[in-house]
Structure 1
Amino acid sequence: MKLGPIDTIILLGGGLVLKKLALWSKSQKIPIHIITSPRHSKELLEGESLKKFLENEKINYLEIDDINSSSNLNFLNELKNPFYLSLGAPWIFKKETIYNYFNNQLFNSHGTRLPQNRGGGGFSWQILTGNRFGFSVLHLIDENLDTGDIIQFEEFLYPATCRKPIDYIEISTEKDFNFLVDFINKNKTTQSEIIRITQPEYLSSYWPRIYTDLNGWIDWSNESTEIEQFICAFDNPYPGAKTLLNNETVIVKNVSLNKQDGIFHSFQSGLIYRKGKDWLCVCVKGCGLIIEEIYDEKGNNIFDKIKIGDRLHTPTQLIQESKKRPIFTPKGLR
């Protein structure tokens, strides 16, 4: 497969990397077009929606629900030497769409190792599994999910200080942006042969997207490390893991394990055994859990309302409900 020169860039999807690439393309005087979805256009990026950003920057964009049935893609066939790049595009592309509109050269930026970590919810899964390996992967899109040939990749390590999704996002955004700019620059002025690496299917795994409101209920019967990882996985920039306190929903963030106070029985899990100046000490299996942020559903800090001996707990029904899979469409949650 040959690629280049690149005279036009078409970005599909949303997110911070898309925003940064759009601004970079403008600075390089490379014509840029964005194809996005209703869900992505409403997404807040550094305080403003993607739609508002594109309008303010006077960047051409198209907002569509179903890319496979859109009658507005004919302009793609008129573009000179285009580079098509998906950044979290919410559509599953049909084979004929990839051929007719993208000349079988639709690329996707993927932020985890392939084929082992296909799917979405990447950083939350990364925290849950204790995985520090980072990847910037560029692969071709086919009619399946993250199964196309790999074109280029770069592996790196997230610092051990990364604990919350926001920590991973800040690093991956810069890594992915630089990775993609390097790729574009290498192919911008001349045509070159692109080496394709087939993904070995026997090494593959797929992880679905996660939705905090549905999946973020804390199971206090889990092991201490699993509880800590779980709460961290739903921390900033997400709304936070949830549980009940005195039959009211509360949001828990900013936690760490504490092994100094002794070993606790599983029946003690969730009990608040001490209050510090601005933190709570909670029993979990084998040790304590320090909670530095706890809010009600309206975002109010409820630290002063909590008493020693109160118990954080999540009913079995909510735990079972949290195992359900959320389904997202280009418009949002189904």
Structure 2
Amino acid sequence: MRIVFMGTPDFAVATLQRLVEHNFEVVAVVTAPDKPVGRGLKMSASPVRKYAESRNIPVLQPEKLKNKAFLEELAAFKADLQVVVAFRMLPEAVWAMPPKGTINLHGSLLPQYRGAAPINWAVINGEKMTGVTTFFIEKEIDTGKIIFTDTLEIGENDTAGDLHDKMMWTGADLVVKTVKAIEAGSYPEQPQDFSGELKAAPKIFKETTEIDWSKDAAALHNFVRGLSPYPAAWTLLADKQLKIFETRPLDALPGNLERVQNGGYPLYTDHKKNLVAQTGNGFLSILSLQLEGKKRMMTEEFLRGYRFDS
């Protein structure tokens, strides 16, 4: 069975690697065009392109997926199946091309958390469980018939980054299971049930990641870890942006802390190890952070070099 794989980031590399390790015939890879990165704006290839080239797999990098030349080039590979992981939305001319269809890996238990950021929103909403789903791509995004699912636990202090790393390999193995079933011609196709209460996973923008300290400590803990490590929840400290990556909720303010001036929400510290913010209900201990213009660091390191206004 001839397979064309479509994906761009590290998350997608895990699945491509698993397909190669299981000796599936990946005849081509479609990934994002190279882009300039860093201060020197040096052109950089996507992680998927780098892996594909290391395995001598042909790579396509179309600017536009409806481009006639790209569609002809893609069709020339005569794929039986296309596998999509962490790629952009496909036009019907692409996903309808192979005879066995095009499958997608989604980072939730569909139909819950349809959208661009399912990992982040599951953590922000305080879910205890989530999972991965393989399904056939259809016209409406994330609505196709479900093939297989697998579940994952979310720990109370797991960040979106932690869940991403676990889901990456669980999802890769689920895709292998799915492709084997399609190759054998025996697999389920379960229509999604949209009748219940559904939670969405829209794209996250920087302007919606500011911390609202009027919310309770537990909700803010979920908010912080759901945005960690990227794009990161943030607040202001002396008119500078302060990104917060790791926290712990507290019911009461620890002893020996004094309130310091920061021009906004109540903030307490012992100037040594502890930095605690007051929330609408309870307190939030800040464990790792990054002040604008500085590197990310643990709070203890930050307090050794920062002086609050008196």
TM-score, length of structure 2 as denominator length: 0.81
Q: Which amino acid aligns with 1:183?
A: T
Is 1:252 equivalent to 2:244 in the alignment? Answer: yes
The 1:291/1:86 distance shift into structure 2, 3 A limit, reads same
Are 1:209 and 2:203 an aligned pair? yes
Following superposition of structure 1 onto structure 2, how do residues 195-274 of structure 1 map, counting pairs within 5 Å?
195-203=188-196, 204-211=198-205, 213-236=206-229, 238-261=230-253, 270-274=265-269
Query: Per-residue CA shift, 1:129-159, capped at 9, x if unaligned?
Result: 11122222111111211111112222x2414
Among 9, 15, 21, the residue aligned to 1:15: 9
Larger mean CA deviation between 273-282 and 243-252 belongs to 273-282
Q: Distance in 2 between matches of 1:17 and 1:103?
A: 26
Residue 105 of structure 2: which of 104, 109, 114 is its match? 109
Question: Are residues 1:286 and 2:281 paired?
Answer: yes
Matched, 1:141 2:137: yes
Identity %: 17
- Cα deviation for residue 90 of structure 1 reads 0.8
Residue 86, structure 1, aligned to residue 88, structure 2: no
Task: Please state whether the residue corresponding to 1:290 is helix, strand or coil.
Answer: strand
Distance 1:27 1:293, change over 3 A: closer
Q: Which amino acid aligns with 1:111?
A: G
- Looking at structure 2, the residues matched to 40 and 18 of structure 1 have their Cα atoms a distance apart, in angstroms, of 18
Determine the C-alpha separation between the residues in 1 that align with 2:187 and 2:209: 42
Q: Deviations over 1:77-104 (max 9, x none)?
A: 444562211112212423x4433x2347
Partners in 1 of 2:217 and 2:264 — Cα distance?
Answer: 9
CA RMSD for the aligned pairs? Answer: 2.9
Alignment of 1:305 with 2:301, yes or no, is: no
2:164 to 166, 169, 176: 169
Question: For 1:61, which of 59, 62, 69 is the aligned residue?
Answer: 59
Q: Structure 2 vs 1, CA of residues 25 and 104 (structure 1 numbering), >3 Å: closer, same or farther?
A: closer
From the superposition, tell whether residues 55 and 298 of structure 1 become closer, same or farther in structure 2 (CA, over 3 Å): farther
- 1:28, CA displacement in angstroms? 4.0
Tell me the matched-pair count. Answer: 287
- What is the CA–CA distance in structure 1 between the aligned matches of 2:35 and 2:105, rounded to whole Å? 16
Cα distance between partner residues in 1 of 2:248 and 2:157: 13
Deviation of 1:161 (Å) = 4.6
- Mark the runs of 5 or more structure 1 residues left unpaired by the alignment: 1-6, 263-267, 310-334
CA distance in 1, matches of 2:79, 2:272: 62
**1:257 CA drift (Å):** 1.0
> Contact between 2:30 and 2:60, CA under 8 Å: does it hold in 1?
yes
Distance in 2, Cα, partners of 1:142 & 1:215 = 30
Aligned residue identity for 1:83:
L
* 2:95 matched residue in structure 1: 98
| TM superposition score normalised by structure 1 | 0.75
Paired letter, 1:225: A
Which residue identity does 1:287 align to in structure 2? G
Distance 2:180 2:94 in 1: 27
Higher relative contact order (CA 8 A, sep 6+): 1
SS at match of 2:189: coil
3-state SS of paired residue (1:71): helix
- Aligned-pair distance for 1:20? 2.4
Deviation per residue, 1:140-196 (Å, 9 max, x gap): 111211111112222x241425521111112111211111112223444x4x24432
Matched residues in 2 for 1:210 and 1:21: separation? 24
Task: Please tell me whether the aligned partners of residues 92 and 145 of structure 1 are also in contact (alpha carbons under 8 angstroms).
Answer: no
Alpha-carbon distance change, 16 to 210 in structure 1, aligned in 2, over 3 angstroms:
same
Relative distance call for 1:12 and 1:167 in structure 2 (3 A) is same
Instruction: Name the CA distance, whole Å, in 2 between partners of 1:103 and 1:118.
Output: 26
Query: Aligned pair in 2 of structure 1 residues 273, 209: CA closer, same or farther (>3 Å)?
Result: same
Question: Deviation at 1:76?
Answer: 4.0
